[in-house]
Amino acid sequence: MKKLTLLALVMLLAGVTGEVWSCTTFLMSGKHTPDGRPLLYKHRDTGTLDNALVYFNDGKYDYIGLVDSKESWKRDVWGGFNSAGFAIMNSAAYNNNSGDTTKLADREGEVMKMALATCATLADFEKMLNEMPKPIGVDANFGVIDAHGGAAYYETGNFSWKKIDANDPALAPFGLIIRTNYSFTGDPDIGYGYIRYETASLALNMALAQKKLDPQNLINCISRNLSHSLTKENFRNDLPESSADTRFRHIDDFITRTSTASAMLVVGALPGEDPASTMMWTLVGFPLTTVAVPVWVSAGKTLPAAVSMKDNMHAPLCDAAMTLKNQLFPIKRGSGPKYMNVALLLNKEKTGILQKVESVEKEIFMKTAALVAALPAKGKQQKEALLEHYKWLDGYITESYKELFGIEVK
């Protein structure tokens, strides 16, 4: 028997466990959204389940980044946006470096941090990729949008990259591009996430056809998607009578699985508009037990406390979400962690954890929409309005989680 290379062994194990590096992502050109704003979405799976937001001012542009709650947060950023209206995220690809024996790897977080600190446009990012010393140490689909109408994926390996432009009607006739864990221009027989790709494609194409591309619906389409495109299961159908009606279901190959740590949706600026209008909705923590929180770079270094990294490197809302997640996955031995108590998540009495979370979140979306509609164009008044909204968010989230779940978000 031929010996497995280290890379092949790692890939085999990733395929067997189905738990790490399983991100589901998409982006959309503003030419095809109802309000003309480009969209960028990352549903993140990783081995580090504690995530937080950090405001950085260590580069040409200030930026907000999604990071792991560990010391590497100073080096790696796993998605975010900057003061120039530039946003970036990634999914692992596994098939851009076929036959490459380069040992340098796993630098995607460093590349994204560098891009957020220095890039304002897709052209800046392309220049950065070209000028970086080779091998780069990546195998990824980088999704990028900017404040000038740009929206594209860069299927990137150690020595080269290929651009998939969402504004090219031959490549994306409806402006939508989806990527899971393989590149379309890489080896077609290597990669992961084919079932998740189909699940996301079905949901997003329906949202596109119905022009339901608001953040609330998109989060439900992806990070709250409880359907399986191959088996046709849907946990939202045939609900248990109550939370006492214990019903466990295996969740491998669903978009949200035990390895899901967070999600982010960047809503870009219109071409010619102040880049400060760019904003990001973030689900810090397990998406079925956390709420979406909006943030703006233009609000300055102060972020909502619920999603900000504290001195212990944790975000309070993420900790609360993990407490609730542990209730959904109470079996810890063997394969038990892959089985979720669906009755505790959703039930006909509407006492499920997700049903309560969505009721809290509905108010957040409503209040934020009203804020955006009345938000001053720029300057001190805009910043003050955003900071006041952050204050309301923290109070509302803290009160809601204590009342509904008996959990302190602090």
Q: What's the mean pLDDT in 216-239? A: 97
Angle at alpha carbon of residue 370, lines to 365 and 372, rounded to 5°: 95
The whole-angstrom distance between residue 53's C-alpha and the CA centroid of its chain comes to 12
Q: CA 59, CA 258: separation in Å to the nearest integer?
A: 35
Could you give the C-alpha distances from 396 to 84, 119, 304, 343, 361, in angstroms and in order?
A: 30, 35, 11, 26, 10
Instruction: Specify whether the CB–CB gap between 121 and 127 falls below 8 A.
Output: no
Could you give the angle at which helices 380-405 and 316-328 cross, rounded to 10 degrees? 30
Q: What are 25-73's pLDDT values in tens digits?
A: 999 999 999 999 999 999 999 999 999 999 999 999 999 999 999 999 9
Inter-CA distances, 316 with 46, 55, 368, Å: 19, 16, 21
Q: 9: pLDDT confidence band, cut at 50, 70 and 90? A: very low
Query: Averaged over 295-307, what is the pLDDT?
Result: 97
What count of other Cβ atoms lies within 10 Å of the Cβ of residue 75?
Answer: 12
Nearest to 223 by CA among 283, 146, 272: 283
Q: How many residues are there in the chain?
A: 410
**190, 8 in Cβ contact below 8 A?**
no
Cis peptide before 271 (omega within 30 of 0): no
- DSSP letter, residue 92: E
Q: What is the mean pLDDT of residues 362-372?
A: 97
The span from the CA of 197 to the CA of 194, in Å, is 5
Residues paired with 64 in a beta bridge: 55, 81
CATH class held by domain 22-405: alpha beta
Closest to 28 in 3D by CA, of 116, 124, 149, 180: 149
Reply yes or no on whether the pLDDT at 1 is more than 60.
no
| Cβ neighbour number for residue 160 with a 10 Å cutoff | 14
* Domain spans of the chain, in order of start: 22-405
Q: Cα 262 vs. chain centroid, distance in angstroms?
A: 6
Looking at per-residue pLDDT, the higher value among 149 and 19 belongs to 149
**Cα(367)–Cα(142) distance, rounded to whole angstroms?**
32
The pLDDT of residue 17 is above 70: no
Q: Is the pTM of this model over 0.85?
A: yes
Helix (H) / strand (E) containing 398? helix 380-405
Strands (E), 308-400: 339-341
pLDDT computed for residue 14 by the predictor: 39
Name 292's bridge partners: none
The 3-state secondary structure of 246-270, one letter per residue:
CCEEECCCCCCCCCEEEEEEEECCC
Environment class of residue 210 by beta-carbon count within 10 Å: exposed (0-12), middle (13-18) or buried (19+)? exposed
